[in-house]
Structure 1
Amino acid sequence: MKKRNKLILMAIFWLVIVAALYSQGLITTDVNKINEIIGKNPFNMRVLFVLLSTVRVLFFIPQTVFIIIGSMLFGPYVGFALSVLSLAMSQSIMYAIGRYFQNQLLGKEFLEKNKNTMLILKKYGYKILALGIACPVTPSDLITLSAACIKLNFKKCIAIIVMADTPMIFLYGFLGTGIQGTFLFKILAIVAITFVSYYTFVIWNKINSNLNEKDKTICSSIK
C-alpha cells in the first residue's frame, strides 16, 4: 500500500471517530457537560477513553495527551489505571504491526531510517528497550516497532514497556488533575519528568553515538 493511501485511510478513520463522538455530544469544551456525561455513563466513558487512548497510535498522537486528559476526567488514580491498560493494548498493536506486517505497512524505508535504533536494541536487548520507553523525548511507539522488527519476545517487551512507563504515567497524571492540594505534586512531577528526560536522553544519545562501524554491519542482518 502506498504511503499516500495509508494517510488517506488514517484520515478517514479519524474523521469517522470524530463524527461519531460529535454526534453523541462528547466533543465539547464545557467542563460541566463533560462531568455530566461521565456521571451518567461512568463505565462507558472509561471504555471509550481506553479505546481512543489505544487507537491513538494509528494517528501518531502522543500518549501523554491522553494521560493528562484521563487524569482531568477521572482523577489521577483511575486515570492512571486506564492509561496503563491502554498503554499495554496500544503497544501490543504496534508490536503486531512491526512483527507481522512490517513489509506491508512499514516498508523498507522505515527499516532503513530506523536501523540504528534497531541495532541498539539488538545489541543491548531489553535494558535499552526500558531506557527508550522511560525517556519521554523518545517515541515509545517507534521503540516498540523496532523491537518487534528484530523479533524480541512479545511478553517480555510488553512487561518491560509497562514497568518502564508506569512511573512517567503516574507523574504526568498529576499535571492534568484538578484536585485541590496537588500543586506541590505538580511541581515535583515537573522536576522529576525534566530530570528523567534529560538523564535518559543523554544516555540514549551516548549509546547511539558510540556505535562503531563493526556494530553497524549487523544492520544488514536485520530483516
Structure 2
Amino acid sequence: MKKINKVIMMSSFWGVVVYVLYRFGLITTDLNKINVIIGNDPIKMRCLFVFLSTVKVAFLIPQTIFIIGGSIIFGPYEGFLLSVLSLAISQSIMYVVGKFFQKQLLGETFLEKNKEIISILKKYGYKVLALGVVCPVTPSDLFTVSAACIKLDYKKCIATIVMADAPMIFLYGFLGIGFKESVGFKILVVILIVFISYYTFYIWNKVKKS
C-alpha cells in the first residue's frame, strides 16, 4: 500500500509538470514555435524559468546551470532574484516532503540512512543547515528534508537557506555575464567561488569529525 502511495505521489508530480508545460504551449517538437511563444511573452518566460528551476531536483539538474542561464537571459540582477525565488520555492517543497510525506515518498528507512546528517543538525541546528546549503559536497535538498524531519521551524529554515545561498547565486550569476566581461573579472569570480567552496568544505569536515 505504501509503495502504491509513493507511485501515486510521483505520478501526480509529473502530471503537474506536463500540465504546466502544456499550458505554456511547450508540448511540441517545433523549436521555432517554442521560441515564438517564449519570446512574445516576457512574463511567461520568467514564470517558466522559475518553474523549471524549481523542479530541477526531479530531473537531477544542478542549480548552477539555471543560475548561469538566468543571468545570461535576464541579466545578473533579475536572474539573481528569479533564482532566489525558485530556491525558496523548491526548498519549501523539500520541507513539505520531509515533514508531511516522509514515509510515503522517502521510505521508512530514511531516518536510519541519514542519521549522521540528522544527528549533526540536531546538535548545531540552523548553522549546519546553512553550511550544508553552501558546501559543494553536501546534498542541500537532503539537509532541508532532514531539517523538516526533526521539525526545525519552516520560516527559519527557508530564511537560513536563502541567506546562505544568496551570495553564491550572486557570484554564479556574474559568471553568466562573465562571458561578456574581461578575463580578469571572470578569474576574480572563479577565485571567490573556489575559496568559499573550499572553506565550507573544510568546515564541514571539521563538523563531521567533532
TM-score by length of 2: 0.84
8 Å Cα contact 1:76-1:173 kept in structure 2: yes
In structure 2, the partner of 1:107 is: 107
8 Å Cα contact 1:72-1:178 kept in structure 2: no
8 Å Cα contact 1:10-1:59 kept in structure 2: no
In structure 2, the partner of 1:2 is: 3
In structure 1, the partner of 2:197 is: 197
Deviates more, 1:37-46 or 1:152-161: 37-46
Q: Provide closer, same or farther for how the CA distance between residues 117 and 14 of structure 1 changes in structure 2, counting only shifts above 3 A.
A: same
8 Å Cα contact 2:178-2:186 kept in structure 1: no
TM-fit CA distance, 1:174: 1.6
8 Å Cα contact 1:133-1:143 kept in structure 2: yes
What amino acid is the match of 2:28? S
8 Å Cα contact 2:9-2:105 kept in structure 1: no
What amino acid is the match of 1:23? T
Q: Secondary structure at the match of 1:108?
A: coil
In structure 2, the partner of 1:219 is: none
Cα deviations by residue, 1:176-204 (Å, 9 ceiling, x for unpaired): 22663254332222111111111111211
TM-fit CA distance, 1:114: 1.0
What amino acid is the match of 1:162? V
TM-fit CA distance, 1:8: 7.4
Alignment partners' CA distance in 1, 2:51 and 2:29: 16
What amino acid is the match of 2:122? K
Map 1:66-145 onto structure 2 (within 5 A). Answer: 66-145=66-145
Cα deviations by residue, 1:47-95 (Å, 9 ceiling, x for unpaired): 1111111122333332212112211211211111100000011100000
Superposed CA RMSD: 2.9
In structure 2, the partner of 1:207 is: 207
Q: Provide closer, same or farther for how the CA distance between residues 160 and 19 of structure 1 changes in structure 2, counting only shifts above 3 A.
A: closer
Q: Provide closer, same or farther for how the CA distance between residues 91 and 184 of structure 1 changes in structure 2, counting only shifts above 3 A.
A: same
In structure 1, the partner of 2:28 is: 23
Whether 1:156 and 2:164 are equivalent positions in the alignment is no
The percentage of counterpart residues that share the same residue type is 61
What amino acid is the match of 1:193? I
Q: Secondary structure at the match of 1:23?
A: coil
In structure 2, the partner of 1:166 is: 166
What amino acid is the match of 2:117? T
Structure 2 unmatched ranges of 5 or more: none
TM-fit CA distance, 1:23: 1.4
Structure 1 unmatched ranges of 5 or more: 211-223
Alignment partners' CA distance in 1, 2:18 and 2:81: 27
Alignment partners' CA distance in 2, 1:209 and 1:6: 40
Q: Provide closer, same or farther for how the CA distance between residues 205 and 108 of structure 1 changes in structure 2, counting only shifts above 3 A.
A: farther
Q: Provide closer, same or farther for how the CA distance between residues 123 and 7 of structure 1 changes in structure 2, counting only shifts above 3 A.
A: same
